[in-house]
Amino acid sequence: MGSYFDGSQSGPLGGNPSMSGRGPGAAGGSPGFMGLQTSSFTDFLAAHSPGLLPGRVGRSGGDAGISPAVRDLPHATTIVAAVCDGGVVLAGDRRATIGNMIAKRDVEKVFRSDEFSGMGYAGTGSLGIEFTRLFQLELEHYEKMEGRSLSLEGKANRLASMVRGNLGAAMQGLVVVPLFVGYDEDAGQGRIFSYDVAGGPYEEQRFYSIGSGSLFARGALKKLYADGMSADDVVLACVQALYDAADDDSATGGPDLTRRIFPVIATITADGFSKLTEAESERISDQVVRERMSLPDGPAAPLRNGG
C-alpha cells in the first residue's frame, strides 16, 4: 500500500485490481475486524461503517436538483497558500455564508494534517471539517500500520482519492475542495496541491488560492509575490491577498478589528507545522489595515525593477 500512496504504482483510475486495499478473500464476504490488509483508514471505515464517511448520506437520491436544505448549509471561503524560503505559508479568512447571508464570522478553515503538512478547505463547511478530521486520522493510521510516514506526494494522492469518493455528494451540491500544502523533506522545500471535485491533484507553483475570492486573492499575489521571500514577507503578502479578496467578494471576510477576528495563518518548514498565535495574526492584520487607510487599493508592484 505504501507504494500506491507514494505514487510509484497506478492510482484508483489505473484499473489495477491489486490496489483495491482488500486482502485475500475480502471480496467474498464481510471481513473480520482486522481482515482488511490495508494501511488506509478510509478503506477500513468503508468496510465497517460506511455511513461515517463524508458525503455518504443521501448519495443515492434521484433528485438532480439541489434541495433548499443543501443550499442553506454554511459554505466557507477563501484559502491562500504561497511558497516561502524554506517552506510554505497557508492562510484563510474566517467567514462562512449561506447564500448572501453571513452564517458565521469566526470559522477556522486552516488545519494541521500532520507534522509537515496542512490543509484548508472551501465549500460545504460540515463536509470540510469531516474531511479534515478523516485525513488527519488517515495519516496517523498509515504511520502506525507502516511504521513510517507517507511522502508528501503520497499524502496528496491519498487526499485526492478521498475527494473523488465525495463526487456523488458533490453532484448534489455538497461540494468541498481542499488546498493541501506541506514541506517536502526530501526536496527541502514547500509544495502546494490543489484539487477539483473529481479528485486531482494538481501541483501548483509559487502560490495558489481557492474559494469564491480566489481570483482576487491570486491577482493580488501576482503583484506582491516574489521568489525567495522570507516566511514573514509571505505571511504579509497572504494577508494582503485576503484583504483584496474581501474587498471584492462578499463571501470572504477581511480582518474584523471591532470583533478582533483575524485570518488563520500557518507556516510549514523543516521545523514542522506552526500556526501563528492570535496576537501575531492581529499584529499583521493591524499593519495591513493601517496601510490601507492611506492606500485603499493596497501596495503597487513596480513596473521596472531598480528603476
Residue 158: inside a domain: yes
pLDDT at 13: 39
Stretch 248-259: mean pLDDT, rounded? 94
Nearest to 123 by CA among 78, 80, 89, 168: 78
Supply the DSSP string of 179-239, one letter for each residue: EEEEEETTTTEEEEEE--TT---EEESSEEEESTTHHHHHHHHHHH--TT--HHHHHHHHH
Stretch 64-73: mean pLDDT, rounded? 58
pLDDT at 274: 97
More confident residue, 22 or 98: 98
Residue 51: inside a domain: no
Least confident among 69-78, 243-252, 276-285: 69-78
More confident residue, 169 or 23: 169
Residue 35: inside a domain: no
pLDDT at 304: 77
Residue 301: inside a domain: no
Taken in order 91, 206, 246, 295, the sign of the CA dihedral is positive
Residue 17: inside a domain: no
CA atoms within 13 A on the CB side of 28: 3
Active site residues: 77
pLDDT at 235: 98
Residue 3: inside a domain: no
pLDDT at 221: 96
pLDDT at 305: 67
Number of compact structural domains in the chain: 1
pLDDT at 45: 66
Per the structure, the complete domain to which residue 118 belongs is given by 69-294
Please, which pLDDT band fits residue 21 given cuts at 50, 70 and 90? Answer: very low
Contact 255, 243 (CB under 8 A): yes
Residue 300: inside a domain: no
Stretch 292-302: mean pLDDT, rounded? 91
Least confident among 12-16, 136-140, 285-289: 12-16
Nearest to 127 by CA among 181, 79, 177: 177
Stretch 54-83: mean pLDDT, rounded? 65
Domain with 215 in it: what CATH number?
Answer: 3.60.20.10
More confident residue, 11 or 183: 183
pLDDT at 137: 93
Residue 205: inside a domain: yes
